[in-house]
Amino acid sequence: MLQIFLVILAIFLVVRLALMGVTRYHNARGSGKRFKRALAQGRLDAEVYEDAIWDEVEHFGRKQLRSKISKRQQRAIRAAKAKMREDFLDDCHPGFYQYVIIFLLASVLGLILETIWMFVAFGVLESRVGLVWGPFSPLYGLGAVILTAMLWPLRKKRWYVVFPLSMVAGGCLEQFAGWAMEYFAGASSWSYLHLPDHITQWVAVRFLFMWGALGVAWCKAIMPELMYRIGEITSTRQMVVVSLLTIFMSVDILMTFACFYRADQRRQGHPAQNVFEQYVDSHFDDDFISSTFENLTMSGDEPPSYEERGA
C-alpha cells in the first residue's frame, strides 16, 4: 500500500509539472481554453495584450499572428485564472456526472498502477482486474468516490481533520469489500491475519495510516485539480456518454457478482436453476475465473497475503 501510494504521488507530481509547463506557455502566448474562458467571463480584457510582442508564424500552410505577453500581464493572467479556479471550486457541488468520471478514472489508473508495481517490486505480471469486462479495479474507484464525497466539504480544513476521517473511510471500505467478497462469493483477494497489527482479516493499523495519508493528498492536491479539470456538464452529449458508461459499469458489476456467486454454488454442488445461471456457468466458468482473476482465491484456499496483493 505504501509503495502504491508513493507511486500515485510521483505520477501526480509528474503530471502536475507537465501541466504547469503547458500553462506557462499559454500564459506567455495568450492562448488556451482557460485563458479564453477568463476573457469570456470578463476577468481579463483587451489590455492583457498591452506591451505584447507579435510575430507571424505558419501552421499547416496558414499564416497566423502569435503574441508574446509581457511579464506584467502574465502575472495578471495567472491571478485571473487562480481566482476563476477558486470561484469554480467554491460553487462546485460534486454530483452524478463527476462521480462517474472519478470512479472510472480511479478504477483504471488504480489497476494500471497496481499491475506495474507488482511487476517492478515482485516480478509478477498477472491479471488483477476486478470485473469480468474491461480493465477496471472497482475498489480503487469506490475508494476515490467515497473520499471525494466525504472530504469535499473539508478541502479547506487542516490536514489533522482530514487524516483520521480518511483512516476510518479506508478501513471501513477494506472491511466491507473483504467481508462482501467472502460472504457473497466465497472469495478472498487479501488477508492481514499474519501481520502483528491486524485488526480484522482485512484491516491492519499500518494501512489505516496509509489511508489517512492518501486522504490528505487526495483532499489537498489531487481532488481539487481533478474536479476543476472535469468541470460541469455542458452538453447533452456528455450526459448521454456518462449515462451509457454508468449502465455498462452497472451491468459489469452485476455480472461479476453473478460470476462469483455461481462459482461458489458450483463448489457446493448446486446446478444452474435457470437460463441466466446456465449462461453464467457457460461463459464465466472456473477456467475463466482462474485466468481473469489471478490474484483471487476461493473458499477453502488460503487467501493471499498483503505482499501477494501488492500492498
Distance CA 233, CA 152 (A): 18
Distance CA 174, CA 114 (A): 16
- To the question of pTM greater than 0.95 for the whole model, the response is no
265 within domain boundaries: no
241 within domain boundaries: no
Summary mean pLDDT of the chain:
84
264 within domain boundaries: no
Q: Are 204 and 295 in a shared domain?
A: yes
Rounded mean pLDDT of 246-261?
A: 93
263 within domain boundaries: no
- Quote the cell numbers at residue 11: 505520477
9 within domain boundaries: no
**Would you say residue 20 has pLDDT above 60?**
yes
Q: Read off the pLDDT band of 309 (50, 70, 90).
A: very low
239 within domain boundaries: no
Distance CA 286, CA 17 (A): 45
Sign of CA dihedral 158, 164, 167, 173: negative
Q: Are 141 and 279 in a shared domain?
A: yes
Establish how many alpha carbons lie within 13 A of residue 193's alpha carbon, considering only the half-sphere containing its beta carbon: 9
Does 310 or 69 have the greater pLDDT score? 69
59: DSSP letter: E
Q: Are 83 and 96 in a shared domain?
A: no
SS3 57: strand
Sign of CA dihedral 155, 161, 165, 167: positive
245 within domain boundaries: no
- Of 87, 111, 131, the residue that ends a domain is 87
Q: Calculate the dihedral angle through the C-alpha atoms of 108, 109, 110, 112, rounding to the nearest 10 degrees.
A: 90
SS3 157: coil
Which domain covers residue 56, as residue numbers?
22-87
Distance CA 250, CA 227 (A): 23
Alpha-carbon radius of gyration of the chain: 24
CB 213 within 8 A of CB 163: yes
Distance CA 255, CA 193 (A): 30
Q: Are 80 and 97 in a shared domain?
A: no
What total number of domains does the chain contain? Answer: 2
Q: What is the pLDDT of residues 188-199, one digit of tens each?
A: 777 888 889 999
Q: Are 63 and 123 in a shared domain?
A: no
Confidence (pLDDT) at 145: 93
Q: Are 73 and 174 in a shared domain?
A: no
Residues 6+ apart with CB under 8 A from 276: 258
Q: Are 227 and 276 in a shared domain?
A: yes
- Of 87, 102, 132, the residue that ends a domain is 87
Q: Are 280 and 171 in a shared domain?
A: yes
